[in-house]
Each structure stands twice: as C-alpha cells, then as structure tokens.
C-alpha cells in the first residue's frame, strides 16, 4: 500500500458525541519520497548507537524503571501533582496523608506504563508465534 493512500481512520457519530475509529495498520507500506529513506537510515543509526550504549549500563531494567518513574513524575506534574522522584519510590504507607493522592497518581501512571510494556511484549511474542493480532 502506498503510504500516501493510507487513511489513519474515520470520524464516527455516536450518541451525542463523535469518536475516531482508527484503521488497521497491518499493511506493507512503500513510499516514493527518498527523504523518508534517509530519515529511516538516520533513525536506524541512532537506534544502533542506543543499543551499543545499553551495553555499558549494568542493569538496563533498572535504568528503564528509573526513566518510567521520571516520566510519571514529570507528566503528572502537568496535572498539578507535587510528588518528586524520591517520593515516588517510597511505599504508600510512608507517604504523608496530604501527599498520598499525588503519590497514587504517579504510581498509577507507572502501573499503566508497565502494563503497556507487558502488553507490547505479549503482542510481539504472539506475532513471533505466527499470530497476527494481539489478544489484548
């Protein structure tokens, strides 16, 4: 499928609201624009650099976990929470009651991210086993 012919989805009418229904993306795409190839080559090079950098990190899972918590704290701050990175790692019972709602908000973000990572891993393993659709 030529990427120029791809439509991301359609706007549907529900009861007193509209919603976006995305199209399936299980297509083989091609494009004629050479700039896209150059950008993909640069992205592949950067991913290779990141992969080689990960070999210097002794515990990549901990590294990723720290970044998920950092992202959770920063993203939740947009919504008005005041939890900092140190507080995010403290057990809920050790958080001051007036800060507990913010702590819960940040940790819910972390749980959602971890769930998404798990679902992506599951979908990838299903695809490797010959299944084309994720079960989640």
Q: Name the token pair of 117.
A: 């990572």
Look at residue 20 and tell me if it is in a domain: no
**Rounded-to-integer distance, Cα 36 and Cα 41, Å:** 9
Q: How many CA atoms lie within 13 A of 25 on its CB side?
A: 7
Predicted local confidence at residue 134, as pLDDT: 39
Look at residue 105 and tell me if it is in a domain: yes
What are the tens digits of pLDDT across the range 116-135? Answer: 988 988 876 666 665 444 33
Look at residue 64 and tell me if it is in a domain: yes
Look at residue 28 and tell me if it is in a domain: no
How many domains is the chain partitioned into structurally? 1
Query: Per-residue pLDDT averaged across 98-121, rounded?
Result: 91
**Rounded-to-integer distance, Cα 136 and Cα 117, Å:** 12
Look at residue 125 and tell me if it is in a domain: yes
What's the Cα-to-Cα distance from 71 to each of 47, 53, 65, 120, 123, rounded to whole Å?
20, 20, 10, 19, 24
What are the tens digits of pLDDT across the range 75-102? Answer: 988 888 889 999 999 999 999 999 999 9
Look at residue 115 and tell me if it is in a domain: yes
**Rounded-to-integer distance, Cα 132 and Cα 135, Å:** 10
Q: How many CA atoms lie within 13 A of 95 on its CB side?
A: 22
Domain that holds residue 114: 59-130
Look at residue 50 and tell me if it is in a domain: no
């Amino acid at each position: 499928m030529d990427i120029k012919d791809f439509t991301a989805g359609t706007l549907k009418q529900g009861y007193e609201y509209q919603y976006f229904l995305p199209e399936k993306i299980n297509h083989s795409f091609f494009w004629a624009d050479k700039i896209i190839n150059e950008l993909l080559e640069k992205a592949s090079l950067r991913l290779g650099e990141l992969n080689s950098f990960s070999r210097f990190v002794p515990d990549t899972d901990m590294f990723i976990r720290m970044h998920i918590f950092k992202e959770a704290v920063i993203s939740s701050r947009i919504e008005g929470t005041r939890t900092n990175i140190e507080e995010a790692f403290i057990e809920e019972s050790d958080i001051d009651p007036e800060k507990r709602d913010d702590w819960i908000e940040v940790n819910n973000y972390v749980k959602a991210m971890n769930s998404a990572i798990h679902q992506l891993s599951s979908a990838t393993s299903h695809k490797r086993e010959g299944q084309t659709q994720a079960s989640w």
